[in-house]
Structure 1
C-alpha cells in the first residue's frame, strides 16, 4: 500500500444510494465492504461524512435561517450518518469508533487528537463527526483539518464522478478530466472540488488531495495502492 494512513471524505449524498433522501442500508453495506478491504491490508483509516442527505447548513441559511443555527443542525446531522456508518462497519467485522466535535457522551466519544491517534494505532477505523464543532466551516474543511491532525498521508474525497473536470461532466460530454492538478490552479480556476478554505489549508500544509469515484467497486483499494485513480491535487 502506498498510503498507510488515510482520511476518507464522503458526502452525505453518497449514503443515499439511489434514493432521494436519507440513508440507504445497501449503500452503507457497500461502503463498509470497500473500507474493510483496505483496512485488512493494514491501512489506518479515518472518515469524515457530510450531511447533505439529511440537512445542509448553507441551504438552510439560503432559506432564511440564521447561518450559525443552520450549520449547527448540519453538524448534528453528520452524527446520524456517522452512527449509521459505524453500525455498517461493525456488522462487517471492522472495529470502529465515532468521535464527535460536539460533546454527546451518551451517544459517542468526544473528539480529541490523542483519542483519535490511539484508536488508529489500535487498528480501529475512526469516524470524525460534527465537523469542526463550529459554524461557517464545511465538512470538506473539517476533513482536511482532521487529516492534518492525525498525520494522514492523503485526504481522499469520494464523489459521483471519476475526478476533477474543467466543466461539469454530467452536463457536458466534452468535459476534460485532469489526472493531476496544483492547489493554485484549483483556486485560480475556481474548480468545484471543495471550498477554498479547505484547498488553501491543504496547500499551506502540503496535504495531497485525491478526488475519485466512490461508486466504482475497488476504487478505494486501488487508490490506497497508488494506482492512477481520479485526480491528485498536490503542490
Structure 2
C-alpha cells in the first residue's frame, strides 16, 4: 500500500517488530554480521525517537533452527530449546547495538537466565514500555513446538500492541516469490483467512490464527529499505496489511 499524504502523525503508539535471525547475517552464510545488526538498530532507534513504544522478537535461524536440527535426527524438544537459546544470543547482540546508540533496552527471556537478561513478567515488561525502553523478547514462548512467529504474536497480544510489523526482504506479501517470478503480484491488503487458505507463508498458521482471534493487524514490509518502518508508522511507503475482512 502506498500513502503519500505526508501526514507525519504516527499511526501506532505501541508495536512489535518481528524479524528473522537470518536478517542479522548480512551477506554471510550464518552467524551475526555486526554492521547489519548496527543498521537494524539504527532503524529501531528512529522508530523509538518518534515516541513509539517498541517490542522486538528476533528469530534464531542464523545460529540454529530447531526444525532443521530435528530433521537431521536430533530430538525435537532438545533442538527447539537450542533454537530458543540462539534467539537469546541475537537479542543480546541487538541490545548491545541499541545501547551503543544511547537507547535504553531490556532483554526479557521466557527461559530464566538471570545473569544475562530478565525473566518474563508481563507487568514488568509493560512498565518498561511505558518508560520508553525497547523490550526484546527472547527464547520464544519458552516451550518447544512453537515458532518465534507465534511467540511474537503472543507477546504482542499480552503487551496490548496495536500491530505486528514483520520485517522481510521484500516490500509486502506476494502471490508467489517475487525474486524468482517477475510477474508476482503484491497484495495491498489481505485477510487472515486468505493467508491461511492460499498458504501465503507470512507467518505460521498458529501465529496467523492467534492474530486473527485477537484482531491484531500484521504489517509486512521490507527491512532492507532505510527508514521503511518509520515511514509506514507515519502512513507512508509500500507494505501489505493482514487484517480481518
TM-score band, normalised by shorter chain:
over 0.9
Answer yes or no: is 1:102 the counterpart of 2:111.
yes
- Hey, what does 1:158 align to over in structure 2? 167
Among 16, 19, 32, the alignment partner of 2:28 is: 19
RMSD of Structure 2 on Structure 1 (CA): 0.7
- Hey, what does 1:89 align to over in structure 2? 98
Gaps of 5+ in 1: none
- Corresponding residue SS for 2:30: coil
Among 22, 28, 39, the alignment partner of 1:30 is: 39
Among 175, 186, 200, the alignment partner of 2:184 is: 175
- Hey, what does 1:213 align to over in structure 2? 222
Would the aligned equivalents of 2:228 and 2:237 in 1 still touch at CA under 8 Å?
Answer: no
Q: Deviations over 1:156-201 (max 9, x none)?
A: 0001111111011111111111011000100011111110000000
- Hey, what does 1:52 align to over in structure 2? 61
- Hey, what does 1:75 align to over in structure 2? 84
- Corresponding residue SS for 2:16: strand
- Hey, what does 1:131 align to over in structure 2? 140
Would the aligned equivalents of 1:3 and 1:226 in 2 still touch at CA under 8 Å?
Answer: no
4+ residue segments displaced more than 3 Å: none
What's the TM-score, normalizing by structure 1?
0.99
**Residues paired across the two proteins, number:** 235
Gaps of 5+ in 2: 1-9
Mapped to 2, the partners of 1:215 and 1:112 lie a distance apart of: 32
